[in-house]
Homo-oligomer: A and B are copies of this chain.
């Protein structure tokens, strides 16, 4: 048995994971990063792990490992969260603090990296040793698995494909660059452009389906309107897919992975989205049909991917 922890902006989830990558039990606490110090949060996290093990009658020495998936930049070798914007942590020695409470081997990874690992172990890329995961949410998280391991270059900072510029001098990203993939391919970017478009086209199905509440226009409504051939929604989705395909093709031209996995809210569109992306990407990859084009699939583990991957870090 292993424990995988997924730290999010709102909640911290702990999963007890068995050797077949199944979550046996799961507990959740609030993150409270706005009111509590990192030390306090980590204290509660240790208690959460102990509780999870106790309730499932797993002794500490029988727990093979605890893995932590954390948003932002982490230093897995040092066991330190270098910087996490979501939870406002900077240089937090999370593993050292947890080890004061628990005598179990512990590991740390970026959350998207852990999710990518989880999908290759027990999810959409099961049995594959080389995969890229892009999580399309508030931002674009990215995790790359090569030879069965999380791909991290030698220097601190992590692999951040979401912060690859696809538009020189483009939209200003929270990272400080202009034109990052995240500014075009995230779920937030999709919603922003849909809301802008809906304002220009008052008769759009997006306005009707959202009861004329722009803030209620979400991915589901956008794709629903697009399927009804609503002109404004068709434009929004088509541009979104083109930009996402540009980012995916960039990554295929670099990593040539066996599979590209999409996670996050937008991936609920499954084949409807990936079939279209696959068509666009074939035309964009270097060498075209002379190279090999990986399949684009959607996440199978969803929000559990990070916990499952974290449990199998080493």
Contact = CB atoms under 8 A, between A and B. Distances in A.
A interface majority secondary structure: loop
A52 to B, nearest CB: 32
Interface stretch (A111-119, A230-238, A280-288): A280-288
Contacts of A288: 176
A79 interface: no
A166 B178 CA distance: 11
Contacts of A254: 144, 153, 159-161, 164, 254
A66 to B, nearest CB: 25
Nearest to A164: B250
B153 A287 contact: no
A184 B168 contact: yes
Contacts of A255: 153, 159
B286 A256 contact: no
Contact of A168 (B246, B258, B293): B246
Copies per complex of this chain: 2
B163 A166 contact: no
Contacts of A163: 253, 286
Interface residues of A, number: 53
Given A164-B164, A175-B286, A283-B176, A256 B292 contact: no
Nearest to A132: B153
A129 interface: yes
B157 A292 contact: yes
A286 B73 contact: yes
A92 interface: no
Interface of A: 73, 82-83, 90, 129-130, 144, 146, 152-161, 163-168, 170, 175-177, 179, 184, 242-243, 246, 249-250, 252-258, 283-288, 290-294
Given A83-B287, A130-B153, A168-B246, 5 more contacts: A156-B291, A160-B286, A167-B168, A175-B286, A177-B284
22 contacts: A73-B286, A73-B291, A129-B154, A130-B153, A130-B154, A152-B256, A155-B293, A156-B290, A157-B252, A157-B292, A158-B286, A159-B255, A160-B253, A161-B253, A161-B254, A163-B253, A164-B250, A166-B166, A166-B167, A168-B243, A175-B286, A177-B284
